[in-house]
């Protein structure tokens, strides 16, 4: 292998193994910031040594062993020698004498628990939402600061600062490296699920920039969601979230046209929907429902997505059921955005006048004041009612509010269509659909 080939291989190994190494080290040193520094030291050692020595048979074990050596040195310097350090030393000596299989088993023994603990630390409510997202992608996704910055269209120093502050906050608050128990578990798990879905949503419908989608973020969120669901197999909402993301991700190939322009749900070529992802999503939804989680917020949203996935054509969509599911979701987790999506479903199921009535009630909601999808949905309903001048104004207002260039172009085209052809253009632009 050439040096460049080796470096590419090291990069791939790091993406696969970094969360495992950081999680294991955090259990040892009880500080996620120090754990990441030790893991980075091991990565530097790999970059220095592997081009000469070759990639080890078990590169993850090599990284972990190297990082553990550094952890022991650190603990010794801090005069914190104890039984754990001695045990770690004996473990490393055993590995060096050639007992690699035993060492690999020891590494795997607590991996699942450690990874789950790392998820709960990275998504701890003591951190801001932005910090939780950045830290999760850094520690669990293995993304560099630059990659996270590019994904969210913010500066690299901003992301670096968020991560540094997050680590300091966790250390200052003495956040324990543990899986929460009892009543606290539900709230903490909800925070983890929220972060994973925020990452997915930013990839699925980018809030800013020139691209309609950022597939890498969707893929990372799906990976994290699948891992989480297997680590907490009895938590129905974890499976509900995976179901929702799998089904939504199944439409990715059909959501953009040849030039990267958005293609809305009702206009998509359903033959391009990924049937494997749909199958996986429906299976995850069934799992959530069997665990008694059919009325959970993520499971309800997954059930809505499943209605679309099961419809062979747009006219076959069961909008009456979708409206009922949104009604249930509103009772379970009421929010203006949920109500806006319910208005879309009501308009499709019972006519645009019914949907418009609810949208007009939402016009006074402070949280929707600058939300571009409110005028977008209102414009669509007005266009269907033949109120084209009003519809054009709503589409123009929505275009002024969105931060995504692709979405702005689409909305302005819909505004122009109201004036030219007497039609409102394609169906509603709504994240819920």
Distance, in Å, from the CA atom of 91 to the CA atom of 73, rounded to the nearest integer, reads 15
Q: What local confidence, expressed as pLDDT, does residue 279 receive?
A: 98
Both 188 and 306 in one domain: the answer is: yes
Distance, in Å, from the CA atom of 286 to the CA atom of 370, rounded to the nearest integer, reads 37
Q: What local confidence, expressed as pLDDT, does residue 186 receive?
A: 86
pLDDT tens digits along 312-345: 999 999 999 999 999 999 999 888 999 999 999 9
Both 99 and 31 in one domain: the answer is: yes
CA 37 to chain CA centroid, nearest Å: 25
Asked whether residue 84 is assigned to any structural domain, the reply reads yes
Phi-psi region of 317 (alpha: psi -120 to 50; beta: other; left: phi over 0): beta
Both 356 and 263 in one domain: the answer is: no
Last residue of a domain, which of 77, 110, 143?
110
Nearest 5°: phi and psi at 403? -100, 0
Both 292 and 370 in one domain: the answer is: no
Nearest 5°: phi and psi at 208? -150, 170
Asked whether residue 128 is assigned to any structural domain, the reply reads no
Nearest 5°: phi and psi at 404? -100, 125
Q: What local confidence, expressed as pLDDT, does residue 275 receive?
A: 97
Asked whether residue 148 is assigned to any structural domain, the reply reads no
Both 241 and 312 in one domain: the answer is: yes
Using an 8 Å Cβ cutoff, are 368 and 398 in contact?
no
Which residue range forms the structural domain that includes residue 396? Answer: 347-433
Distance, in Å, from the CA atom of 199 to the CA atom of 12, rounded to the nearest integer, reads 21
Asked whether residue 143 is assigned to any structural domain, the reply reads no
Instruction: Please name which of 70, 91, 72 lies closest in space to residue 80, comparing C-alpha atoms.
Output: 72
Q: What local confidence, expressed as pLDDT, does residue 256 receive?
A: 87
Both 87 and 16 in one domain: the answer is: yes
Which residue's structure tokens are 């030291």? 41
CA 345 to chain CA centroid, nearest Å: 25
Q: What local confidence, expressed as pLDDT, does residue 281 receive?
A: 97
Q: What local confidence, expressed as pLDDT, does residue 103 receive?
A: 38
Distance, in Å, from the CA atom of 309 to the CA atom of 251, rounded to the nearest integer, reads 9
Both 191 and 311 in one domain: the answer is: yes
Asked whether residue 29 is assigned to any structural domain, the reply reads yes
Distance, in Å, from the CA atom of 120 to the CA atom of 196, rounded to the nearest integer, reads 12
Tokens encoding 242: 């995976």
Distance, in Å, from the CA atom of 61 to the CA atom of 108, rounded to the nearest integer, reads 10
Asked whether residue 267 is assigned to any structural domain, the reply reads yes
Q: What local confidence, expressed as pLDDT, does residue 5 receive?
A: 75
Using an 8 Å Cβ cutoff, are 247 and 218 in contact?
no
Tokens encoding 318: 């069961």
Both 295 and 207 in one domain: the answer is: yes
Last residue of a domain, which of 266, 295, 317?
317
Tokens encoding 191: 């925070």
Both 184 and 312 in one domain: the answer is: yes
Our count of domains for the chain comes to 3
Q: How far are the Cα atoms of 111, 250, 282 from residue 288, in angstroms, in the given order?
A: 25, 19, 10
Asked whether residue 185 is assigned to any structural domain, the reply reads yes
Last residue of a domain, which of 95, 110, 125?
110
Both 294 and 354 in one domain: the answer is: no
Instruction: Please name which of 353, 365, 358 lies closest in space to residue 342, comparing C-alpha atoms.
Output: 358
Q: What local confidence, expressed as pLDDT, does residue 3 receive?
A: 63
Asked whether residue 205 is assigned to any structural domain, the reply reads yes
Helix (H, G, I), strand (E, B) or coil at 121: helix
Both 293 and 422 in one domain: the answer is: no
Both 425 and 299 in one domain: the answer is: no
Describe the chain by its helix, strand, coil percentages, rounded to 5: 75, 0, 25
Q: What local confidence, expressed as pLDDT, does residue 225 receive?
A: 94
Residue spans of the chain under pLDDT 70: 1-3, 78-112, 206-213, 420-433
| pTM for this prediction | 0.79
């Amino acid at each position: 292998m050439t040096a460049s080939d080796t470096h590419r291989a090291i990069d791939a190994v790091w993406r696969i193994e970094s969360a495992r190494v950081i999680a294991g080290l955090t259990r040892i040193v009880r500080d996620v910031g120090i754990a990441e520094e030790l893991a980075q030291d091991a990565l530097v050692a790999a970059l220095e040594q592997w081009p000469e020595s070759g990639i080890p048979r078990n590169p993850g074990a090599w990284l972990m062993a190297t990082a553990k050596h550094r952890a022991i040195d650190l603990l010794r310097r801090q005069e914190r020698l104890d039984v754990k350090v001695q045990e770690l030393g004996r473990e490393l000596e055993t590995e060096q004498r050639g007992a690699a299989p035993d060492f690999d088993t020891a590494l795997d023994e607590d991996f699942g628990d450690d990874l789950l603990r790392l998820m709960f630390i990275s998504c701890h409510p003591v951190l801001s939402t932005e910090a939780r997202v950045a830290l999760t992608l850094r520690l669990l996704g293995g993304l560099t600061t630059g990659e996270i910055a590019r994904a969210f269209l913010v500066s690299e120093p901003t992301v670096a600062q968020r991560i540094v502050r997050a680590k300091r906050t966790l250390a200052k608050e003495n956040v324990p490296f543990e899986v929460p128990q009892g009543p606290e578990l539900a709230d903490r798990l909800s925070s983890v699920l929220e972060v994973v879905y925020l990452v997915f949503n930013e990839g699925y419908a980018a809030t800013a920039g020139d691209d309609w989608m950022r597939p890498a973020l969707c893929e990372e969120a799906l990976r994290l969601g699948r891992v989480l669901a297997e680590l907490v197999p009895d938590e129905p909402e974890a499976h509900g979230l995976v179901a929702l993301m799998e089904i939504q991700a199944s439409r990715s190939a059909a959501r953009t046209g040849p030039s990267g322009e958005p293609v809305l749900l009702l206009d998509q070529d359903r033959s391009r929907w990924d049937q494997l992802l749909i199958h996986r999503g429906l299976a995850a939804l069934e799992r959530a429902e069997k665990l008694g989680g059919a009325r959970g917020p993520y499971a309800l949203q997954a059930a809505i997505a499943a209605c679309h996935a099961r419809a062979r054509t747009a006219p076959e969509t069961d909008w009456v059921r979708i409206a009922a599911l949104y009604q249930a979701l509103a009772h379970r987790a009421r929010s203006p955005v949920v109500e806006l999506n319910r208005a879309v479903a009501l308009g499709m199921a019972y006519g645009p006048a019914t949907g418009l009535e609810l949208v007009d009630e939402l016009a006074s909601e402070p949280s929707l004041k600058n939300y571009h999808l409110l005028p977008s949905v209102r414009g669509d309903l007005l266009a269907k009612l033949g109120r084209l001048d009003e519809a054009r104004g709503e589409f123009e207002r929505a275009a002024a509010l969105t931060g995504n260039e692709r979405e702005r172009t689409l909305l302005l085209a819909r505004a122009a269509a109201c004036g030219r052809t007497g039609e409102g253009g394609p169906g509603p632009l709504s994240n819920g659909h």
